[in-house]
Structures are given as C-alpha cells and as structure tokens.
Structure 1
C-alpha cells in the first residue's frame, strides 16, 4: 500500500569509498567489492517513488512484496524482476477517505478487469505470480492520492520479460480470450457466500444465470472463428450453457444439483486446451484452476 512519507534520499556506497574501506586486500577481493558497489549504486539509481508507478513498469519491491511502501526499484523488463504494473485507475470516492476495506474492495473488483486488458491470457503468466495492488492510505488520500496500481508479482523468485501480450494478439485470439475470461469471471464473481445450495438456492441460481449468459456470448464469438477444435469446443460449451440454464431455472436444490454437475464439468479448462493450441495460445492449465476441476 502507498504510505505518505517525507522524501528520503537513498544513498549507496560508492566504488571509491568501498576501496578505501577494505584497505590492503587481494585483487579478487577488490574486484568483488567494486562489483558489489556498482550493483548497489545501480539499485539506488533505479529507485522511484511508489507514487510514480506507471502502466508497464517492471520493478522489484524493497523488502516484502506486500505491506506499506515508499519506493521500488524500477528495472528493464528484460531483466529478472518480481513484479510488473499491469493496470491502473483512480478511485472516485469524494473527499472523505472511504476506509481500508472499501479501498481494497474497489481494487479487488477493478484490478482483474484492468489486468486482463494488459495481459488477457492468464494461462501465459509466469508460474507463481499473483495479482497484487498498491492503493492509497488514509494519509496519502489527504494529499490527493487516488491512484491504484495493479501488479502481477511473483510470490517467490523472479521472472523476465513484459507481460504485455494484448497488442500482439490476433483478432481471433482476442475474441476467444474475451469470451473465455468473461465465463470464469461470471463464475467466480457471483460465487454465493453460503457453502451449500440448500442454504442459498436463489444465490446459486443467480450465479448459474450469469454463467449461462457469458457462455452464450462466448459461443457466439466462437462462431466467427474457423478451426476444427474451435468448432468442437463451441459444441461443448453450447451444451454446457444449456445445463447452466437448467440450473438457473431449478425449482429446488435437487434439480439444481442434477443440472450443475454437467454444467460445471462442461467448462472444465482442460476441455479448451485443443482449441487454444489451434489458436496459438498457451495450453498449460494454471495450477489453481486445474486443482478446482480435479475435484
């Protein structure tokens, strides 16, 4: 999270100071010290205020990825890094700070949408990255800070290269991804809080209705794309949409369950691998998605 703080000049030890400090040592030790000092100086030179993060910036957090931050190290995207800004927007919430929970709720809702504009194919993301965000705090809000920076950040290790794939996609790839992403967004964004259908049949029926509508739109989009495997997937999803509609219209929990099982199985990500391959998209199901459909 962004935290308002006085400007802090981050200073590193120069190569000359390093040499004076180590005194009379071997050449290899001197070389190591110089290299270390150069690396330190480079990191300092790359420090930028977290308030100045821009879309597309690749960076390394100073310390833990999560928590308050004053500055980050901006690096070229072809170098190893921990995170990249993949979306940004401003919160429009009047003059009063809406509170930490409300700010987080806004970011939770908006960041996935913004991130998909920049990196539409979530299957192509490096393994182990999570969608995090920098948001205003109460203190920074008082200075006019309203910006949210959405990032994909590695939980462990680093990755290389930019995640910006939107501009390189072909029209048919974009059409597929927009439709597919909307289906799973409808599924998870409308997930009822109750664990069982018996406890919230209306909520589960509303979720089913949203998924069915997204599937109808996805199927329509696939109709304009040529390809044998795409055609097979379109037939599979058409059948799945029918089952989601049955679930949405279920009169009771038992009827819902009967329709839900084939409906959920019908949108198993594994069923889209062949079509994705035909379209030239990533074909490895993300681990978290594979786990859900593995049961």
Structure 2
C-alpha cells in the first residue's frame, strides 16, 4: 500500500515521489534522452526577448534628419508614439526626435515660402540639375585655344571638328567665355545671334582688360547651338577670338586679367577703364553738327572720366621705375580735362571742333605709352595700328562657324 505524501503547508496537493512538479519530465543530462521541443520565441524573461523597434519611429527619424518632407515625418512620429505605447515596442526616443526635427522642418519651410527662399532654392536646384545633364557643346573651355580643319573657321560648323591646341603655338582661335541660355524652347537663330553679340562684348571686356592689346587679324565671334543641338541638350554659347582668313593664325593668348597681370598692371588698367568707358559713348553721327547736344554731353562724360582716371592713378603706390612717368601722365590728364570741359560748353559745331582736336592728343597718346612701358603693358595705341584697327575693341567683320563676328 502506497503511503501518501505529507500535505503541503500551503494546502496544495503533493505529487507522488519521484515525479517532477508541474510540467514535463526533466530533460536528461545526456544525449539520446527525451527532448523538450524548441520554443519559437524566447520567454518573457530571456535576455534575448527584447521587443522589436517600431518601423514608423525609424522612418520618422530619417525624414526628420533629411528634412525633405517634414509633414510626413511628423505624422509618422506621432503614429509611432501611439503604437509604442500600445504594443510595448522600442523606438520612443527616435519617434520623439523625428517628430521634433520634422516640426522644425515645417517651420523653416513656412518661413522660406513667406520670404521667397523656397522659390529661389528650387530655381537654383533646377538650374543645377540642368547643368549636370546638359554641358556645353563646345569641347574646350575659357582660356583654351583650338584649331579647326584647314584653319577654316567659317567652315567649322560642328563642335567635334574643334581640336584643342596650346595657346603658345600657332592656333586658329581662343575661347574667352561660355554662358548658358535659360530658355525652355529653342528661341530661334536671330534671338540667339542678338544675345550672343551683346553678351560676348560684355564678357570680352572682363577677359581682355587692356584696350591696347593687339589681337592682329582675330575677330570676336561666337559658337552657338542650332535647333538640332538644342534638342540634344546644348544650351551654351561660346564666345571666342578667331581668325577668319585661312592663311593667318594666332600665337599667344589675348587674355589680360587677374590670372596673368600683376597688381600694378591691374591698377593702371582700372584707371584706364574709367576714361575709355566714357570715351566709348560717343554719338554715332558723321558730323558734330548732326548731334551737337549729344556730342557736348559726351565731352562732359569724357571730362569726368579723365578726372576719375587721374584720381585712381594718384591713389596707387607705383613702383619707382614707373612713378615719374605716371606722375607726368596725371599732369597731362589735368591739362586735357580743360579741353574737354570747354568742348562740353561749345556754342556751335565749329567751336566744338576747335576744342576737340587738341583734346584728342591725349587720348591714346604718348604720355600713356610712356607710363605703360615700365609696367610691362602694351605701348602701341589702337590708333597707331595701320588701318585704324588692331585692338580688341575694334574686332568685327564676317562671321564664322555657327556664329558671326560681333
């Protein structure tokens, strides 16, 4: 007869001796014994039983950091916080951080819209995207020189015919600038030609700062896209100096800017520009009598240009080798100003002519050449070149390639 086990103090019935309490038999400590089935998920107290991270919390944090669609990031963060509270998932810190960053993004976006910053940003982004997709159809860039087959610039209608060449060797052309045409559709050849002619002249003034530079037989021209190349993504106009006559070529660069001029040369040319900017506004008439008021106003502008030229020359600390010649030039400028001042108040065309003739003696004169020489600048005035041309300001003539001479 089996003896029942003694009662449990807590009132619970006792298992018979030799049986494990509550549950399946104990697993034997040796292979081959009864096995306990593997659990699919660890129990609640296992060290590997951490709950998963909420996916909405991760997405909210990513969108908050990128700040690309902040409203979506904020919504996802709030949804994540709600799910985490219900399911006990992890990621509360990420959801809070994502919500805060997204909220800040919304505030910044509203401010950008109010101030117009968003529009500027998107415009810049679109332009940058276009630039990355559409490069210039011309194979070389600013400051580089090239040759064309047979030195026939007029016959070079396609960019793939351009071969880069060292500027120190004889060559057919030199690129001075490139600019992009911001237009959705092809604007037409006439519109592009007008734009190229105007823009290339402006860009030339910053590429060749010295108006006395002798460009020989070169002409300021341009290469622009046609309807076909436009459809292929080319939106750039290339401004260049080229030689139209096949038997003539360039040697050396025409570039005169901060890349190859020293501080003294730049200071002199800045003063020089003050005069020539005013001098270049002369009325386009054959006789003074055809537009005497216009010529008198022009003479007044030249007088002011001379005053600014003298001021800038005085303000610079010139090297000893050039100091005396620059001082002599300043004296000549002051004397010349008097003639232009009188011309600006002339009572008739004959009186204007009487003041104009001696006033012209200073413009591109000997005093300027003497001051230029010790500075290492060109010393031949454009008006001393046979035929009255030769400077980069006098470029013109028939066009070549896909463009025309400016």
Same fold per TM (> 0.5)? yes
CA shift in 2, pair 1:147/1:216, >3 Å: farther
Task: For residue 145 of structure 1, report the CA deviation from its aligned partner.
Answer: 4.7
Tell me by how many angstroms 1:175 deviates: 1.7
C-alpha deviation, 1:138, in angstroms: 5.7
Aligned equivalents of 1:111 and 1:276: distance in 2? 27
Given that residues 230 and 278 in structure 1 are in contact (C-alpha distance below 8 angstroms), is that contact kept between their aligned partners in structure 2? no
Residue 87 of structure 1: aligned partner: 177
Match in the other structure for 1:198: 289
What is the deviation of 1:213?
Answer: 2.8
Counterparts in 2 of 1:245 and 1:105: CA distance versus 1, 3 Å: farther
Q: 1:213: which partner in 2?
A: 304
Residue 220 of structure 2, aligned match among 120, 125, 131: 131
**8 Å Cα contact 2:364-2:383 kept in structure 1:** no
Q: How far did 1:85 drift? A: 0.6
- Find out whether 1:151 has 2:247 as its counterpart: no
How large is the RMSD of aligned CA atoms in angstroms?
3.1
Structure 1 residue 154: deviation in Å?
3.0
Compare 234-243 and 129-138 and name the one that shifted more: 129-138
Match of 1:59 among 134, 137, 146: 146
CA–CA distance in 2 between the matches of 1:70 and 1:173? 38
* Match in the other structure for 1:268: 364
Does 2:168 align with 1:78? yes
Provide the rounded CA distance (Å) in 2 between the counterparts of 1:170 and 1:73. Answer: 31
Identify the match of residue 164 of structure 1 among 255, 260, 264.
Answer: 255
Range 75-84 or range 178-187, more displaced: 178-187
Shift of 1:185: 4.0
User: Is the 1:230–1:275 contact (alpha carbons within 8 Å) kept by the matching residues of 2?
Assistant: yes
Residue 170 of structure 1, CA deviation: 1.7
1:164–1:254 Cα change, 3 Å: closer
**Alignment partners' CA distance in 2, 1:146 and 1:201:** 44
Cα 1:266–1:69, aligned 2, differ >3 Å: closer, same or farther?
same
Distance apart, 1:233 and its partner CA = 1.0
Give the count of matched residue pairs: 243
Displacement, 1:184? Answer: 2.9
Secondary structure of the structure 1 residue equivalent to 2:286: coil
Gap change, CA 1:170 and 1:256, over 3 Å in 2: same
TM-score by length of 2: 0.52
TM-score when normalising by structure 1? 0.69
Is residue 69 of structure 2 the alignment partner of residue 69 of structure 1? no
The answer as to whether partners of 2:212 and 2:381 remain within 8 angstroms in 1 is yes
Q: 1:132 to 1:69 in 2, by over 3 A?
A: same
Indicate how the Cα distance of structure 1 residues 287 and 208 shifts in structure 2: closer, same or farther if over 3 A, else same: closer
Deviation digits for residues 120-161 of structure 1, max 9, x if unmatched? 234344432222222344665566654332212234422333
Q: Which string of whole-angstrom CA distances, capped at 9 and with x for unpartnered residues, describes residues 175-199 of structure 1?
A: 21133244334323x2323211111
Question: Which of 216, 234, 243 is the equivalent residue of 2:339?
Answer: 243
Question: How far apart are 1:173 and its partner, in Å?
Answer: 0.8
User: 1:103 deviation in Å?
Assistant: 4.1
The one-character-per-residue Cα deviations of 1:239-276 (angstroms, maximum 9, x if unpaired) are 22332233233343233222212222221344311100
- Deviation by residue 1:53-111 (Cα, 9 ceiling, x = unmatched): 421121113463236721222223233211111123345578672752x5444444432
**Displacement, 1:174?**
0.6
